Amino acid sequence: MTNSLPMKTRAMMYEQQLDHLPRLVDEMYRRIETLAPKRYAGIVHDSDTTDAGRPAAAHLHVMMEFQNPRSLNSIAKLLGDKPERIEAWKAGVENGFSYLCHRTDGTRSKHQYDPKIVRSNFDYPALLASIESRVARTRSHSSIKVLLDDLLEGRIDKESLISQLSGSEYART
């Protein structure tokens, strides 16, 4: 006999087409607020397209972060929807919040939603700006490392290295 405890997590994403929501969007947000998540943010994706280039059905995404792990089944029940509409978000909570506006590596080719239309219980635009700034610094650092490795290995010369760096990046090398 296997022990199949319900999946629990602190970070989860609810997704449902508007036509299949168990209640109106505003009522769904009120329900989510009663769950007392540490942070939540939601958006209606109404400008997505399918792989075939056709408009995708409008759907609601809500990223939720809880102080303590919560059962996906119990959250689904409290929202009045099926457990398969909630995904344990394993890519990290910040990735989940970034996904809402399609600001993750895998979604940059999709419609970019304005952070101001996201409904949340915190300053979502400020969080997204902070995440994007941190990612840009990390990428810049990785880029500098590659260039320095190229210089060390003789694939580029010092002048080529300098020409590819900004003044602040050059100052850090």
| DSSP letter string, 21-79 | -SS-HHHHHHHHHHT--SEEEEEEE-S-B-TTSSBPPPEEEEEEEEEEEEEHHHHHHHH
Residue 141 lies in a domain: yes
Domain residues for 168? 130-172
My answer on whether 34 and 77 are in the same domain is yes
Q: Residue 13: which H helix or E strand, with range? A: strand 8-17
Q: What is the pLDDT of residues 55-83, one digit of tens each?
A: 999 999 999 999 999 999 999 999 999 99
Residue 54 lies in a domain: yes
My answer on whether 138 and 82 are in the same domain is no
My answer on whether 63 and 12 are in the same domain is yes
My answer on whether 134 and 109 are in the same domain is no
Instruction: Please count the residues of the chain.
Output: 173
Q: Residue 16: which H helix or E strand, with range? A: strand 8-17
Integer distance in angstroms from the first to the last C-alpha of the chain? 59
Q: At 42, give phi and psi (nearest 5°).
A: -140, 160
My answer on whether 100 and 139 are in the same domain is no
My answer on whether 36 and 106 are in the same domain is yes
What does the pLDDT profile of the chain (173 residues) look like in tens digits? 445 556 899 999 999 999 999 999 999 999 999 999 999 999 999 999 998 999 999 999 999 999 999 999 999 999 999 999 999 999 999 999 999 999 988 898 899 999 999 999 999 999 999 988 887 766 555 566 666 766 677 776 777 656 666 665 666 66
My answer on whether 103 and 139 are in the same domain is no
Q: How far apart are CA 58 and CA 45, in angstroms?
A: 6
My answer on whether 68 and 150 are in the same domain is no
Give Cα separations from 61 to 5, 45, 94, 148 (angstroms).
26, 7, 14, 42
Per-residue model confidence (pLDDT) at position 2: 46
My answer on whether 31 and 50 are in the same domain is yes
My answer on whether 98 and 13 are in the same domain is yes
Question: Roughly what angle, to the nearest 10 degrees, separates helices 25-34 and 72-79?
Answer: 130
Per-residue model confidence (pLDDT) at position 1: 42
- Other C-beta atoms closer than 10 Å to the C-beta of 43 total 22
Per-residue model confidence (pLDDT) at position 6: 66
Residue 3 lies in a domain: no
CATH number, domain at 29?
A: 3.40.1310.30
My answer on whether 115 and 145 are in the same domain is no
Mean model confidence pLDDT for the chain:
87
Per-residue model confidence (pLDDT) at position 153: 73
Per-residue model confidence (pLDDT) at position 18: 98
What's the number of domains the chain is made of? 2
Q: How far apart are CA 76 and CA 37, in angstroms?
A: 14
Q: Residue 111: which H helix or E strand, with range? A: none
